[in-house]
A = this chain, B = another copy of it.
Amino acid sequence: MLRLHDLQTPALLVDADGLEHNLRTMAGALPGARLRPHVKAHKCTALARRQVELGHRGLTCATVREMEGLARAGLGEDLLLANEVADARRLGAIDARVTLAVDSPATVEAAAAGGVREVLIDVNVGLPRCGCAPERAGALADLARTRGLQVRGVMGYEGHAVGVEDAEQRARLVEQSMRLLVEAHAQVGGDVISAGGTGSFDLNAAATEIQAGSYALMDTAYEKLGLPFRPALTVLTTVLSVSQEFAVADCGLKALGMDHGNPRIDRAKVWFCSDEHVTFAPEQPVRVGDRLRVWPAHVDPTVAYHERLHVVSGEEVLEAWEVDLRGW
């Protein structure tokens, strides 16, 4: 049995119990097709397979590479690319059920020209990102149908709401967003209202399916929300240098998503990160060779730097899963 101290560092660790708790808790709350797990957070076919085994047979993707990889792995029963593309030819060539988000005449044309058959009308429900204005959704659906596309319904991500700490305010923002989406859906038709994320999984009653992804590994940014999911992802690091005031370990900017700021180390104060190092002040003395766990501030762009996820229980490494859906 491989053990933690056998791993090269930095190494991504997933706590087996935490992951299983998160997957089962979500599957209990949103069983089967009520959840369309987003794979962008983990980019890992093995983890997606576990989500499918728990009953969520439709999956959400952020990139074409994720779509291709899941299809190749036999997980292509119902794949949604919840982003627009300007060129859909790679999607059209995938041997799986592919649904694509569209939010403009140009992306409708791209879908049709690329050989994609099914689309969702992506509606802007308050986050300044993709999505058409709600009042344009109906006309866009009509255009899509004239171009031979099957319109399955709408999607709209309330990303401005999911991280709001105050639960009442979060609920209010989610409701406002979903009112827009439901109105758009009335113009668009179809069976699907796809929306939501980990922060709104229990608040969004309007969506027919929730696109949560972070719940599996969880994110420190979600910790304050009192969600029933456990942080399960850390980066294992080795102490390389120890001075009087601080120590240095091998987990730096190329092993961590840094857009949410510095990572955390238990019983230590993190000073800063360099390319391959974190400098920190430990509360208790550490020695060269000691192994520590680093909590990344943002899980998704952290995972995207690593080749594999190690599923661990205590000191034992149970499995190594390839992060095989990286890149584009």
Contact = CB atoms under 8 A, between A and B. Distances in A.
Given A9-B328, A86-B289, A128 B243 contact: yes
B63 A241 contact: no
Contact of A129 (B131, B277, B327): B277
Interface stretch (A47-55, A138-146, A172-180, A251-259): A251-259
Nearest to A303: B254
A266 B106 CA distance: 24
What is the copy number of this chain in the assembly?
Answer: 2
Contacts of A241: 84, 103-104, 107, 129-131
Interface size class of A (residues with CB under 8 A): 35 or more
A2 interface: no
Interface stretch (A200-208, A223-231, A267-275): A267-275
Contacts of A37: none
A275 B248 contact: no
Interface of A: 8-10, 40, 62-63, 83-86, 103-104, 106-107, 110, 124, 128-131, 133, 159, 238-243, 245-246, 248, 250, 253-255, 257-259, 271, 273-277, 279, 287-289, 298, 300-301, 304-307, 326-328
